[in-house]
Amino acid sequence: MNHGTRAVVAKRVDEGTADLSEITDLARAAGYDVVGELTQSRDEDAAFHFGEGKVEELATLMADVDAAAVIVDNRLGPYQTFNIGAKLPDGTEVIDRFTLILEIFGQRANTRKAQLQVELAELRYELPRAEAKASLATRDERPGFMGLGEYDQSREQDIKAQISRIKRELDSIADKEETRREERRESGFDLVALAGYTNAGKSTLMQRLAEDLEVGQNEDLHPDLETTAESEDRLFTTLGTTTRRADTGTRNVLLTDTVGFISDLPHWLVESFKSTLDSVYRADLVLLVVDASEPVDEMREKLVTCHDTLYERNEAPIVTVLNKCDKLDEGELEEKTDALSALAPNPVVVSGLTGENVAELCDRIEHELPPWERERLLLPMNDDAMSLVSWVHDHGHVESEEYEGDQVFLEFEAQPAIVEKVRSKAANLRQAETDGVVDSP
């Protein structure tokens, strides 16, 4: 991380007032020490992005606060980056929004899958720049014009080859994860994903839901599950996915927390992290977590962005969860839910921090998940039948279990696939009893 690197944050908007709060949070998340800021409201300048006079003002500010980097909350072209840097003190690093985001992703990528996705995003960011340089060089008849020609054409081909290689490896990982998801479903688990912006409180809410299960240390976790997501006021704490078993009542729920959304992400960056977002797209239910303490306009903008991302591929129902209700009074909550009713109809209002209304959220999760199937079975009384009854308890919800003479009457609810398995096993048990054969468990 860039521990202690002094930086100025800057942003240009076409009109209105530039908001530097998010870019400041992102810069601090990357380890920068933000010591100054600069904004401008004007049309984009093709050469400098900002007006040339504003860049000179930036140079003065950089010298005054002794900053080594400027972080621009806009997308800069390669030549704009070069032109700004040429106006600043020697050695100044010019970083645009997406370079910063990739830097943070790189710092947080602790798994092979996350590292591959970061590398893919970096290559997709670099590719059009390499293509532009190669195109410029080939316009001139001299080989290697400006030191760009042959090298950049080779670099462009190398980037494309690397992208293909990484996509193949990510596809292989995605296939394995899809198999794992299906195995979990076949074991009776419903898959619920947490989605939403960074710092919306997803990890805190996940801890609250998993906490109700009273799972102890890591060695006591279900073998499919990972350690609990950290809960910090820090962006991108969960770059990868974290899965825990959640106690919502009668259902067997696996809850997955994923990387948080951030605003103004270009398509190529979202596409690079498609493999991580598959845990959202392929869930049985999505909880879209929103920070209810934010201004309503900001909440609305984030909901629109989330919907655009989710509804493109997601088929599961989406429940909006207005989190951090402990920070608002009842009147403010009512006002915000009314204002957002078109985007977030019938939301669940909770506090992951205090646990307020978490029970209501659990009820809503169970209501929104795909319906279970009800079944009644009459089983012979033997060891195999007792093993089957125990298995049904683990994979469904047993409503009644009665013993009469040498038979067991079982009434339960479970996923259709689980019910089908139980029916098949029960039929085999009855046939074995008829044939006078009892298999060992």
- Could you list the residues known to form a binding site, using ranges: 196-203, 238, 257-260, 323-326, 351-353
Tokens of 17: 């007032």
Q: How many CA atoms lie within 13 A of 310 on its CB side?
A: 28
SS3 of residue 347 by DSSP: coil
First-to-last alpha carbon distance for the chain, in angstroms, is: 55
Residue 414 DSSP code? E
Residue positions in the annotated binding site for Mg(2+)? 203, 238
Residue positions in the annotated binding site for GTP? 196-203, 257-260, 323-326, 351-353
Question: How far is Cα 278 from Cα 193, in angstroms, rounded to an integer?
Answer: 10
> DSSP string covering 74-140, please?
SPPPHHHHHHHHHHSPTT-EEEEHHHHHHHHHHHH--SHHHHHHHHHHHHHHHHHHHHHHHHHHHHS
Question: How far is Cα 380 from Cα 393, in angstroms, rounded to an integer?
Answer: 17
Question: How far is Cα 394 from Cα 381, in angstroms, rounded to an integer?
Answer: 19
Q: Is the Cβ–Cβ distance between 251 and 369 less than 8 Å?
A: yes
Q: Is the Cβ–Cβ distance between 247 and 355 less than 8 Å?
A: no
Question: How far is Cα 303 from Cα 140, in angstroms, rounded to an integer?
Answer: 48
Residues 6+ apart with CB under 8 A from 299: 290, 291, 292, 336, 340
Q: Is the Cβ–Cβ distance between 130 and 155 less than 8 Å?
A: yes
Question: How far is Cα 100 from Cα 107, in angstroms, rounded to an integer?
Answer: 11
